[in-house]
Chain A
Amino acid sequence: MSLTSPGVDETVPGRLLYRGAEADVVLGDWQGLPAVFKVRKPLTYRLAAIDREIRRQRTAHEAEMIRHAKRAGVATPFLYHLDLQTSTIVMEYVGGKMLRDLAGQMTANDAEEPFFKFGEGVARLHAAGMMHGDLTTANLVSREGTLVFLDFGLAHRTSRLEDHAVDLRLIKETLVGAHPGIAKAALDALFRGYEAVAGTPKSRRVRSQLRNIERRGRYARVT
């Protein structure tokens, strides 16, 4: 089910690559090219009135945000087609390895390079006036040394410091929650990568805002 499960390179068109929280990611064929079909199927636990709107909105939004991210110099899949009736995005099949799975086998030393790049990419998105909104390690794929950003379904146009800090907060939450062994080294590298692109003043401001957000957390004691 994961993008990196053995044998994924030999997958046949139409095969379910990954079942995410809100979409099925199916490998198929688009005018002769291997392509990924990201389909937001109705979620039965939600009222149709809530569900339809969210799926439509996120699908349209995602396509728009992929375009913005590309313009900001961040690697993303190429967009082939968009169908709002079925909430489907057809895009380039990236392949590569999911950062989540790579991180699971990393030592603190290995974390330096990918997470420095991760930080650079996030800073580019922020500098272009957007937030990704879903920066878990499952949404980044490493392909031939390039870190490709996926899943822009929760992305927004925003230059608010708070929103940019929320992006970093999720990264930190994911690292500490899912990859505790390398969390510190990975975060250090990430913040350095961020600073390299965003500059020291912006980097300081956004990290200070991150601490403010953490302080608002339940029962938190942030030092």
Chain B
Amino acid sequence: MKCLVIGVESTAHTFSVSVVSSDGEILSNSKSVYKAPPGGGIHPFEASQNHLAAAPSVLTEALRSSGTEPGDLSAVAYAMGPGLGPCLRVGAVAARTLAASLGVPLVPVNHAVGHIELGCLLTGAEDPVVLLVSGGHTMIIAYSGLRWRILGESLDLTLGQLLDQFGRHHGMASPCGRAIEESASRSDHYLRLPYSVKGNDVSFSGLLTASKSLLDRGASFEDVSYSLQETSFSMVTEVTERALAFTGKKEVMIVGGVAANKRLSQMMSAMAERHSARVLAVPLEYSGDCGAQIAWTGVLAYESGIEVPVAESTVKQSWRLDVVDIPWRG
């Protein structure tokens, strides 16, 4: 029988609520996004205050635009982690309250698993190598033996952090990805930067330092943006290619906020072609953080019997996706 699950996302800058049906229809996806001050990043407490203020209206809007009544909901899913503590707690409080008042199960969802499962729903990916690139993650992932497994990752900064910290050094406000992409598109002058691939992993910290110091020594923002993108994206593409060649899989799926970057998906396509693999890009609206990733994964988890009593419904700031069992793919 068809059921409806409402999902609450609040791991970082985005507070979002969505209603999704068990046949994969996204009925609503409302959100409020915290804006960092120029030159700054996400201040966890400030972001949580944004979420607190926005929660009632986002929740109401998600329910109203989905055309469902609260009584029609079978379960309430929430992002249990990983993420920023103060932000996670706002989502958890909203979800607990809703679940308790409706008398329906509360379903914990791992945010990263949410990105992947929603991506699979929307792109039709069956058994992909996943590149998860955002402010919180830079990981190459594939499913095997009941879990999503990490085949490679960044040893230090995430790709989103690399771009944001570079942009902020130039006085921008996070997220800076789009502005950097725009600047990069106006240059084709490559400045040499350190390229650091270690086995299946990448390291971005030296690249960030070198890029900032190029700016400080007077190189143009456009040229450094271009060179930074070319270098970091090549590194990420190389390790994704390694995972693809190693596993022999035929699909590459890009998810997370940085998936919106056109140059990155262009590189991925050129790489995948060599291995006769398909590149699947998650539609922009759903590649970044959103309630739908939590609601849809909530559907899958709920149908597998996963729930958590309200008394134990804590949040986990640290919760790697490779410790989460995925019974619905077993």
Query: A-facing mask of B168-204, CB < 8 A → 1, else 0?
Result: 0000000000000000000000101001011111000
Please tell me the size bucket of the interface on B: 35 or more
A177 to chain B, nearest CB (A): 4
Contact B245 A50, beta carbon cutoff 8 Å: no
Task: Determine the residue in chain A with the shortest Cβ distance to B158.
Answer: A218
Contact B246 A100, beta carbon cutoff 8 Å: yes
Known: A47-B230, A177-B149. A219 touches B238 (CB 8 A): no
Residues of A within 8 A of B242 (CB): 21-22, 136
Q: Give the docked Cα–Cα distance between A219 and B147 (Å).
A: 16
Contact B271 A45, beta carbon cutoff 8 Å: yes
Stretch of B59-67, B96-104, B115-123, B136-144 with 4 or more beta carbons under 8 angstroms from chain A: B136-144
Contact A22 B320, beta carbon cutoff 8 Å: no
Task: Determine the residue in chain B with the shortest Cβ distance to A221.
Answer: B318
Contact A173 B152, beta carbon cutoff 8 Å: yes
Q: Is B127 an interface residue (CB 8 A)?
A: no
Task: Determine the residue in chain A with the shortest Cβ distance to B234.
Answer: A46
Q: Give the contacting residue for B271; candidates A43, A134, A176, A221; CB below 8 A.
A: A43
Query: B-facing mask of A159-180, CB < 8 A → 1, else 0?
Result: 0000000110110011011101
Q: Is A198 an interface residue (CB 8 A)?
A: no
Contact A220 B151, beta carbon cutoff 8 Å: no
Please tell me the size bucket of the interface on A: 35 or more
Known: A178-B247, A218-B320. A170 touches B199 (CB 8 A): yes
Q: Is B2 an interface residue (CB 8 A)?
A: no
Contact B199 A135, beta carbon cutoff 8 Å: yes
Contact A170 B274, beta carbon cutoff 8 Å: no
Task: Determine the residue in chain B with the shortest Cβ distance to A178.
Answer: B144
Q: Is A54 an interface residue (CB 8 A)?
A: yes
Contact A173 B200, beta carbon cutoff 8 Å: yes
**Chain B at the A interface: SS class:** mixed
Q: Give the docked Cα–Cα distance between A170 and B242 (Å).
A: 13
Contact B153 A217, beta carbon cutoff 8 Å: yes
Q: Is A14 an interface residue (CB 8 A)?
A: no
Known: A19-B275, A46-B234, A136-B199. A218 touches B153 (CB 8 A): yes
Contact A218 B200, beta carbon cutoff 8 Å: no
A78-133 CB contacts (< 8 Å) to partner B: 100, 133
Residues of A within 8 A of B142 (CB): 177
Query: B-facing mask of A56-95, CB < 8 A → 1, else 0?
Result: 0000000000000000000000000000000000000000
A219 to chain B, nearest CB (A): 4
Report which A residues bind B (CB closer than 8 A): 1-2, 19-22, 43-47, 49-51, 54, 100, 133-136, 138, 154, 166-167, 169-170, 173-174, 176-178, 180-181, 213, 216-221
Q: List 6 A-B contacts (CB under 8 A).
A: A154-B198, A170-B200, A173-B200, A176-B149, A177-B144, A218-B154
Report which B residues bind A (CB closer than 8 A): 81-82, 136-137, 139, 142, 144-147, 149-156, 158, 190, 192, 195, 197-201, 230-231, 234, 237-238, 241-242, 244-248, 266-268, 270-271, 274-275, 317-320, 322
